Amino acid sequence: MTTLSSTTGSIVGSRRHRARRRHVVIAVLLILLAAFFALTLSLGQSFTPPGEVIRVLLGEQVPGASFTVEQLRLPRAVLSVLAGLSFGLGGAAFQIMLRNPLASPDIIGINWGASAAAVFAIVVLSLKGPAVSILAVTSGLGVALLIYVLSFRNGVAGTRLILVGIGVSAMLESFIAYILSNAPAWNLQEAMRWLTGSVNGAQLDQAPPLLLALAVLGGLLLSQARNLEALRLGDDTAAALGVGVARTRIIVIVSAVGVIAFATAVTGPIAFVAFLSGPIAARTIGNNGSLLIPAALVGALLVLAGDYCGQFLLPSRYPVGVITGALGAPYLIFLIVRANRSGASL
Amino acid sequence: MITNSLVASQLSAGYGDNIILDGLDLAVPPGKITTIVGANASGKSTLLRTMSRLISPRHGHVLLDGKSIHRTPSRELARRLGLLPQSPIAPEGIVVADLVSRGRHPHHGTFSRWTAKDDEAVAAALTATKTAELAERPMEELSGGQRQRVWIAMALAQQTEILLLDEPTTFLDISHQVEVLDLLTDLNRTRGTTIVMVLHDLNLAARYADYLVAMAEGRLHVSGKPEDVLTEENVRQVFGLESRIITDPTSDRPIMLPIGRHRMTTGQAR
Amino acid sequence: MQSLWLAVLIAALAVLCLLSVGIGTREIVWSDVVAALGGQVDSIGQAAVTVRIPRTLLALLAGAALGLAGTIMQGVTRNPLADPGILGVNMGASLAVVIGVAWFNIASAYAYIWTAILGAGCSAVFVYTIGSMGRGGATPLKLALAGAATSVAFSSLVIAVVLPRNDIAGGIRSWQIGGVGGATFDGISHVLPFLAVGFVISLMSARRLNSLALGDELAAGLGENAAVARAVAAFGAILLCGATTAVCGPIGFVGLVVPHLCRLLVGVDHRWLLPFSALIGACLLISADIVGRIVARPAELDVGIVTAFVGAPFFIWIVRRQRVREL
């Protein structure tokens, strides 16, 4: 019996150790995020002292600072964080569910429906604001559902879902390319938003719907965190552990595509954030509980840092999607090589 | 009443247009070890998967204590009936203790906290499978036999009265096969766990089974005590193979020796 | 049986060529077509036909090249989803051309073609290498994912290169969709030698592909050096799709659809498959081009878009038909 109780002791010890590591990493990510947020608010083309930034945020009118901070920097930073959280969360949920780091929504194209609808709404129908969001979100979900239905045959195999996604996205991409190439007034900035994602021209009133979507759908995703962890052991094992596999899949697909579509309607599909966040989070936190929250934080950091870098640190100005895309490409290749070599998944 | 009686009645199941199980009846004896044997594509795995709710039957029921398992909430069922599938996936870098603690999943709701009872269950599972000293090792570093013991530990941490295993000895060499089967027998003897497993090796199946089930073409061909099931006549009917059955001197269980066409020295050809 | 199909296909191709010359955004009477084919450019109708002749020729060549390249890629990788578009080869050619234009000021037609072929080759080798690492070799899933991921990566690099260069953005944008609308005899004459070499190498590798189809070990047992056979056949395919991409831009899915159609018609013998895939590829691309001109009147749909809309559902159909194993 002594051996059993000593085993219990060491189990408890190692579990606490893992939990502590998890908490430390999440705390560090939060601090980093806050620091970057503060940096983007105070340092841009010009420097605004932190004191003035705080006064502006508290609602004071500070000459010379109010406009820059309140109209330019704050909306941008807020939307970057919200979009990053959404992409990171949705991406990681897909990667865990399909047990493949490459199966993120941006690569298997499950969120191209939102982009295509947004482009169509803006360029062809000349819509603006909430109408675009609604259209983007509904067709994002519609396309995701279509992909799900098309890959349904005696149940949905993850493999088939990925491949069908690739096929559907090829169609949608060429649709987007066609609309953009025939756009009456060719606006490169606007086009860039829908090809790679950008937070240029962000406005604060775009934030509440995003926040709401994140709260509702993100909450739904987090409620599935344990089931997702069980799914990592394989569909059969998860089912044996009492996970309703099909139900979990539907919830995850709908809510992940939902958060991503809301974000896409505002910022466009910011390249690679959904894809990169999960693996980066996995690297920092290891196998210590659900990846969802750390991945969301990493996503927010990526967008915030990428946008800052694209605005101020390079010879010409790039939208954030180009930065995350170009930086993400080598990492992606590294990941494929690594993942394929070990034959392992995320 | 909880008697752990697992019964399949008139069970038909399959994939798509392909019917694999065809009106099968089976009553699993509670508290015993049942092994299922049969030729390839005879429906062994499908039977196990249907009995553990991975597949819904076309017709018929699987009843646990008289209640259809396909109508039981999945978490509730998973607290009573565990399954170790053929190829479970170990997430990259996961350590043994963490993996085994995943077996506690059905005992938790969405927001419930981890309790001392969970820790005890995990520790007991590790001890029973002799994997306690591996607790902090990542799965990738373990041998095939150790890995299989860890997966069994995970199923044990689930603390179910019934455990189904789909070919728990595949990819293991013979000493590890015996090790795993001995372990399962220990569990059955000490905890009274009802065990149902699919095995490829007829002799090991007969050796470790209390109740042997032979399947052919999606039906139960014959079932009962190993010495009644493993007969020359049944081997011929189920596998299409001529054989001789002798008695294992160490266990008094039947052993099947295939005859084949060559290298016969004592004139068994009949 | 095969010969009968061959005759049917050649006849179909001839009809399609005529239709392609005759049908367009502008209605033309057949007498004009005949006259223009005879060299007259007196009326507007005849002039329109004169423009459509190189266009038809290019569609024919590009379709044949892409169909052939697709069959070879599926043979070389023994993978039913292999296609220059899916494998990211087109994107590789695009990236190479974009970098060449933006940074090295390439302008001559030959430089374009060489750059595209180089890019196509590099990315094909790259995608195949990463797709075939690890357990199970190059499974359809791994190849498709590696290709899709590489395409995404390359396309963001393309944007990163193009974005600061407003001067070249417009040209590259229209090139990136893939079409045969701007074809001239001059352009075709530049790419013809490359295509000719590609066709010859490809058609000669039929026997090698037949051996490869049995698996590397069996091919070796039959006295075929699998690595060499693969490299030679793949080189032919890369020449074909690189050169095509250089003139037309990336056109997807022709290389995917054609081999499957051909296998339905003539079975799995590459000695028949290869010429058939060239023929069917040509028919397909000419039809797609005609459709693109009809559906969007008075504007035109680029052929790359038409093939994507026809090809993607086909791709999904193949995926559904296949017994894909769970990961």
Strand pairing category for B219-224 and B211-216: antiparallel
Question: Of C38, C43, C6, C36, which Cα lies nearest the Cα of C22?
Answer: C36
Cα B89 → chain centroid = 18
Specify the pLDDT at position A345.
41
ipTM: 0.85
Which residues in A lie closer than 8 A to residue C148 (C-beta atoms)?
Answer: 102, 107-109, 166, 169
Verdict on whether the full-model pTM lies above 0.80: yes
Assign 3-class secondary structure to chain C.
CHHHHHHHHHHHHHHHHHHHHHCCCCCCCHHHHHHHHCCCCCCHHHHHHHHHHHHHHHHHHHHHHHHHHHHHHHHHHCCCCCCCCCCCHHHHHHHHHHHHHHHCCCCCHHHHHHHHHHHHHHHHHHHHHHHCCCCCCCCHHHHHHHHHHHHHHHHHHHHHHHCCCHHHHHHHHHHHHCCCCCCCHHHHHHHHHHHHHHHHHHHHCHHHHHHHCCCHHHHHHCCCCHHHHHHHHHHHHHHHHHHHHHHHCCCCCHHHHHHHHHHHHHCCCHHHHHHHHHHHHHHHHHHHHHHHHHHCCCCCCCHHHHHHHHHHHHHHHHHHHCCCCCC
- Report d(CA C47, CA C65) in Å as an integer: 28
DSSP string across B154-209: HHHHT--SEEEEESTTTT--HHHHHHHHHHHHHHHHHH--EEEEE-S-HHHHHHH-
Condensed to tens digits (0 to 9), the pLDDT of residues C136-147 reads 666 777 777 788
Euclidean distance between CA atoms A34 and A32, whole angstroms: 5
Q: B54–A11: do the CB atoms touch at under 8 Å?
A: no
| Alpha carbons A34 and C21: distance in angstroms, whole number | 64
pLDDT at C299 over 60: yes
Report pLDDT digits (tens) over C29-42: 677 767 766 766 66
Q: State the Cα–Cα distance between residues C29 and A69, nearest whole angstrom.
A: 66
The reported pLDDT for the residue numbered A292 is 93
Helices and strands counted in chain A (H then E): 15, 0
Residue C264 contacts A, CB cutoff 8 Å? no
**What mean pLDDT is reported for chain C?**
81
d(Cα C131, Cα C120) in Å, to the nearest integer? 16
Q: What is the block-wise mean pLDDT of chain A (346 residues), using blocks of 10 residues? A: 74 86 93 93 83 82 80 90 95 89 78 83 78 84 86 70 83 82 63 76 85 94 92 90 89 91 86 88 83 94 92 83 81 70 47
C positions 73-112 inside 8 Å of A (CB): 81, 85-86
Any A CB within 8 A of C148 CB? yes
What pLDDT is recorded for position C325?
Answer: 41
Tell me which residues of chain B have a pLDDT lower than 50. 269-270
C chain contacts of residue A178, beta-carbon cutoff 8 Å = 177, 301-302, 305
Hey, which chains touch B, using 3+ CB pairs under 8 Å? A
Task: Please tell me which of the candidates A159, A272, A343 has its beta carbon nearest to residue C135.
Answer: A343
pLDDT of residue B1: 57
pLDDT of res. A154? 62
A218 has a chain C CB within 8 A of its CB: no
Whether residue A302 lies within 8 A of chain C, CB to CB, comes out as no
For B172-187, the pLDDT digits (tens) are 889 889 989 999 999 9
pLDDT digits (tens, 9 = 90+) for C236-285: 998 898 888 888 888 888 888 888 888 888 888 888 899 999 999 999 99
Which chain A residue is nearest to residue C123, measuring alpha carbons? Answer: A333
Q: Which of 169-198 (C) contact A at CB < 8 A?
A: 169-170, 173-174, 176-177
- Residue C314 pLDDT level (bands cut at 50, 70, 90): confident
**Cis bond upstream, residue A330 (ω within 30):** no
Q: At what angle do helices A292-308 and A207-223 cross, to 10 degrees?
A: 150
* Under 8 Å between Cβ of A87 and A274: yes
Which residues make beta-bridge pairs with B39?
none
pLDDT digits (tens, 9 = 90+) for C96-131: 988 888 888 887 778 888 888 889 888 888 888 877
Q: Following CA atoms C107, C111, C112, C116 in sequence, which dihedral angle do they give, to the nearest 10 degrees?
A: -150
Q: Which chains touch A (3 or more CB pairs under 8 A)?
A: B, C
Interface test with A, best of C89, C163, C260, C303 (most A CBs within 10 A): C163
